[in-house]
């Protein structure tokens, strides 16, 4: 009788190899999306600055509305096509990164290069640390996501209220809260995508799953970056 047929070790080894490949692909897609946004933002602030600034100055409301609506449409398209058409989802992720880069350029023009660079380094350090924790922790953190999303909704509502109050101190405090929320989401999303691969990796396209995870992690990182910019800018004014 061949005892190797009942040996679970080969399955475990194959699972670990597949998991490493999946994580490398997911974080690779996410890093590429960040790079595309960075290049787009740079070009938007230099080569295409005049055209973009003119469009924003002439129609600021419609400028922002078009970007917001298009981003929600693309997020829906990425998630809808992830398992059925991974190539389409990946293309939409890159287009999404370009659109987000253009939108960010309008905000980034308000800050110095030192502030932007410092915020990027800080966001990278926090995101990397939380992603490692999310992928290595043995604790069940599945319920953490519900609390983080509730906190995020609360932060968004409070930020809208502060638009009328115009309090710089409140905005500064909210920036720290935003960093805490998205640091937690970076950990939770990393952990959740790892569990999703282990549960569904052999049933769906791993590439499509990687694109979905890359989108979530991209949003975590970009929001960390934007909140760190506000913190660094606030500190430099003090």
Mean pLDDT of 19-29: 95
Average pLDDT, the chain: 90
Other C-beta atoms lying within 10 Å of the C-beta of residue 234:
17
Measured between alpha carbons, how far is residue 13 from residues 8, 17, 29, 209 in Å?
9, 6, 24, 21
Provide the pLDDT for residue 2.
43
Write out the two tokens for 23.
């994580």
- pLDDT tens sequence across 35-94: 999 999 999 999 999 999 888 888 888 888 888 888 888 889 988 888 889 999 999 999
Mean pLDDT of 184-197: 96
End-to-end CA distance of the chain: 76
Closest CA to 27 of 137, 145, 186: 186
Measured between alpha carbons, how far is residue 155 from residues 148, 151, 195 in Å?
10, 6, 28
Going from N- to C-terminal start, the domains of the chain cover 8-237
Provide the pLDDT for residue 61.
85
Residue with tokens 């935003």: 178
DSSP class of residue 36 equals: H
Query: What is 137-200 written as a DSSP string?
Result: --S--TTHHHHHHHHHHHHHHHHHHHHHH--HHHHHHHHHHHHHHHHHHHHHHHHHHHHHHHHH
- pLDDT tens sequence across 125-163: 999 999 999 999 999 999 999 999 999 999 999 999 999
pLDDT above 70 (res 1): no
pLDDT above 90 (res 213): yes
What is the rounded CA–CA span in Å between residue 17 and residue 14?
Answer: 5
Provide the pLDDT for residue 71.
82
Q: Are 229 and 121 in contact (CB under 8 A)?
A: no
pLDDT above 80 (res 5): no
Mean pLDDT of 181-185: 98
Provide the pLDDT for residue 236.
60
Between 25 and 17, residue with greater pLDDT: 25
């Amino acid at each position: 009788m061949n005892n190797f047929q009942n040996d679970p070790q080969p399955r475990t080894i194959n699972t670990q190899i597949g998991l490493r490949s999946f994580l490398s692909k997911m974080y690779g897609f996410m890093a590429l999306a960040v790079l595309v946004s960075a290049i787009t933002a740079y070009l938007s602030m230099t080569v295409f600055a005049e055209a973009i600034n003119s469009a924003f100055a002439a129609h600021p409301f419609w400028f922002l509305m078009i970007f917001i609506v298009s981003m929600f449409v693309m997020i829906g398209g990425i998630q809808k096509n992830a398992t059925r058409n991974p190539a389409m989802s990946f293309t939409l992720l890159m287009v999404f990164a370009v659109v987000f880069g253009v939108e960010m350029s309008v905000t980034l023009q308000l800050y110095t290069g030192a502030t932007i660079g410092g915020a990027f380094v800080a966001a990278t350090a926090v995101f990397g640390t939380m992603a490692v924790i999310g992928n290595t922790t043995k604790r069940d953190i599945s319920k953490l996501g519900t609390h983080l999303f509730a906190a995020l909704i609360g932060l968004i509502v409070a930020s809208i209220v502060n638009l009328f109050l115009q309090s710089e101190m409140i905005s500064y405090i909210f920036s720290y809260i935003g960093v805490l929320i998205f640091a937690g989401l970076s950990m939770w999303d990393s952990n959740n995508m790892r569990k999703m691969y282990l549960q569904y990796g052999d049933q769906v396209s791993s590439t499509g799953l990687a694109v979905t995870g890359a989108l979530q992690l991209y949003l975590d990182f970009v929001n960390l970056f934007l909140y760190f910019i506000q913190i660094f800018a606030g500190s430099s004014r003090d």
